[in-house]
């Protein structure tokens, strides 16, 4: 009788990580289930193994083991995948957990940062600042891992001035399906570089980033206005006023803003990356009838500037522990702004709909600016014409998300898009497992090129999750 397949896989993976048992958790091991880092309990996933490599060479060994035994692979960085796609999305994948790949340096002359892909955003933020007061665009949740964030898009408060997180990538080190370790940039492996900047999980495991950095801002104004009112008409007027402001032609890129709707209220917040005089001249309070409900703070510490009141609200609602939730997203071009009639219908629907939870949020983020300076086909990230993103989000605190709650979010999206019929995109970082035609929604007109690259470098679809880029037959090229 031969050695069981699972034992062969385990022995191979153990050898790949230098026979260090601390770097491998295998299905069937004692307390294996407790080591599965689930984020969204709505989508339970049990991988074959979780590996914790220390370097790119060990990642290559892990991928070779997976290829030899015909097992799918997915990288796991911070673990904020809304459908647990970092665990493979379906049972049975091998997970490459990046938490040990944390190297960091900044070239004192070029200010290019070299960063390990397991670094969390909060750590990146601090390390860059302490290495000569440097900074890059990234999101406001410190627990998110840059391995996923920087290869999906990476939107944050500074995006309007500096572009997306992935726009800062100058070069990457990637382990491919054939276990080779390669470099990709504008001058080498250009097609791979294109794919990594927006769809990396379908193409390889990024182990290192080289990032263009900026001098960190030295002053900013944070503003917050909260309206605790269940009156749909009042909240509708607030939204209309806010949308009218963000549609202002050539609105300053120093201005970031988000509007959050929740049970019984609304929160308008953001950061103005400039001086007190510039902020006062901008005159935000002239646009809203809520000036008595706000707080304004002047900041001179960059480490405290990149925060999100929306993130804080959601974390408070979840209690800081894994839970079951469902989320959706929509991108809006200026031609898809919501009409006044559409806004009224949106709030009328919110008022009458059954939700089956009080922990729901609808977050609208102002984008545009430098994010839109790139052409749509410059990177795999396709949403270069968007001026606003919407994320609808509902949390169940007592078990799985109910069909009523899911219907609430789905129908809300339908109500909003019906006022401006057309093709709406979805953000690949806000995974929606029930989305129709997800690849088209995530990557739009860039999908055909991504499919060609996929066929060339990962023909066996080793790097796969339920909504990853799939190759097309070569006879269709």
DSSP structural state of residue 356: S
Mean pLDDT, residues 337-361:
95
Does pLDDT of 464 surpass 90? yes
pLDDT of residue 1: 42
Helices assigned H by DSSP within 200-324: 232-246, 276-282, 309-318
Q: For residue range 265-310, list pLDDT tens digits in order.
A: 899 999 999 999 999 999 988 887 665 567 888 888 888 877 666 6
Average pLDDT score, the chain: 92
pTM for the full model?
A: 0.94
Domain 220-299+308-434 class, CATH top level: alpha beta
φ and ψ at residue 276, rounded to 5 degrees = -60, -40
CB half-sphere exposure, 35, CA atoms < 13 A: 19
- Nearest CA to 416 out of 336, 296, 311 is that of 336
Q: Give yes or no for residue 255 having a pLDDT over 90.
A: yes
Instruction: Specify the domain boundaries for CATH 3.40.462.20 within the chain.
Output: 220-299+308-434
Tell me which CATH code domain 5-97 carries: 3.30.43.10
pLDDT band at 84 (very low <50, low <70, confident <90, very high): very high
Instruction: Please tell me the predicted confidence (pLDDT) of residue 306.
Output: 74
Where in the chain do CATH 3.30.43.10 domains reside? 5-97
pLDDT in tens, 3-62: 657 999 999 999 999 999 999 999 999 999 999 998 999 999 999 999 999 999 999 999
Portions of the chain given CATH number 3.30.465.10: 104-216
Q: Regarding predicted confidence, which is higher, 441 or 471? A: 441
pLDDT of the residue at 293: 66
Q: Please name the CATH architecture into which domain 104-216 falls.
A: 2-Layer Sandwich (3.30)
pLDDT at 292: 57
Give the model's pLDDT for residue 473.
Answer: 58
Least trusted range by pLDDT, from 178-182, 186-190, 417-421: 417-421
Residues forming beta bridges with residue 419, ordered by sequence position: none
Please state, in angstroms and as integers, the Cα–Cα distance from residue 448 to each residue in 189, 257, 451, following that order. Answer: 18, 34, 5
User: Mean per-residue pLDDT for 367-385?
Assistant: 97
According to the model, what pLDDT value does residue 250 have? Answer: 93
């Amino acid at each position: 009788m031969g050695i069981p397949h699972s034992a062969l896989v385990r022995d191979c993976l153990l050898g790949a990580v230098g026979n260090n048992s601390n770097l491998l958790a295998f299905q069937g091991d004692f307390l294996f289930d407790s080591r599965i880092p689930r984020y969204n309990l709505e989508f339970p996933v049990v991988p074959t193994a979780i590996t914790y490599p220390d370097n790119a060479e060990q990642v290559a060994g892990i991928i070779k083991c997976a290829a030899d035994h015909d097992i799918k692979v997915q990288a796991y960085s911070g673990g904020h995948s809304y459908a647990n796609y970092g665990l493979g999305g379906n049972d049975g994948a091998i997970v490459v957990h990046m938490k040990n790949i944390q190297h960091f340096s900044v070239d004192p002359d070029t200010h290019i940062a070299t960063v390990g892909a397991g670094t969390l955003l909060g750590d990146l933020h601090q390390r860059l600042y302490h290495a000569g007061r440097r900074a890059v665009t990234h999101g406001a949740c410190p627990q998110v891992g840059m391995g996923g964030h920087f290869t999906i898009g990476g939107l944050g408060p500074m995006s309007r001035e500096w572009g997306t997180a992935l726009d800062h990538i100058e070069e990457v080190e990637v382990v491919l399906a054939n276990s080779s370790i390669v470099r990709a940039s504008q001058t080498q492996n250009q097609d791979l570089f294109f794919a990594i900047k927006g769809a990396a999980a379908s193409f390889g495991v990024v182990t290192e980033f080289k990032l263009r950095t900026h001098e960190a801002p030295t002053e900013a104004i944070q503003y917050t206005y909260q309206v605790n009112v269940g009156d749909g008409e009042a909240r509708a007027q607030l939204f209309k006023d806010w949308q009218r402001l963000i549609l202002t032609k050539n609105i300053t890129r120093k201005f970031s803003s988000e509007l959050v709707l929740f049970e019984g209220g609304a929160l308008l917040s953001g950061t103005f990356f400039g001086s007190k005089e510039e902020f006062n001249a901008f005159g935000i309070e002239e646009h809203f009838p809520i000036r008595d409900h706000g707080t304004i703070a002047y900041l001179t510490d960059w480490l405290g500037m990149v925060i999100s009141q929306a993130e804080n609200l959601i974390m408070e609602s979840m209690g800081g522990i894994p839970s079951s939730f469902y989320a959706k997203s929509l991108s809006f071009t200026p031609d898809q702004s919501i009409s006044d009639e559409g806004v009224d219908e949106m709030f009328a629907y919110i008022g009458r709909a059954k939700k089956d939870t009080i922990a729901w949020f609808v977050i609208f983020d102002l984008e545009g600016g430098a994010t839109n300076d790139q052409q749509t086909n410059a990177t795999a990230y396709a949403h270069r014409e968007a001026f606003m993103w919407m994320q609808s989000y509902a949390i169940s605190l007592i078990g799985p998300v109910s069909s009523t709650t899911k219907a609430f979010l789905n129908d809300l999206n339908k109500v909003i898009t019906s006022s401006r019929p057309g093709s709406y995109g979805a953000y690949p970082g806000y995974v929606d497992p029930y989305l129709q035609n997800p690849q088209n929604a995530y990557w739009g007109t860039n999908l055909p090129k991504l499919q060609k690259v996929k066929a060339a470098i990962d023909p066996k679809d080793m790097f796969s999750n339920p909504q990853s880029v799939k190759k097309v037959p070569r006879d269709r090229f």
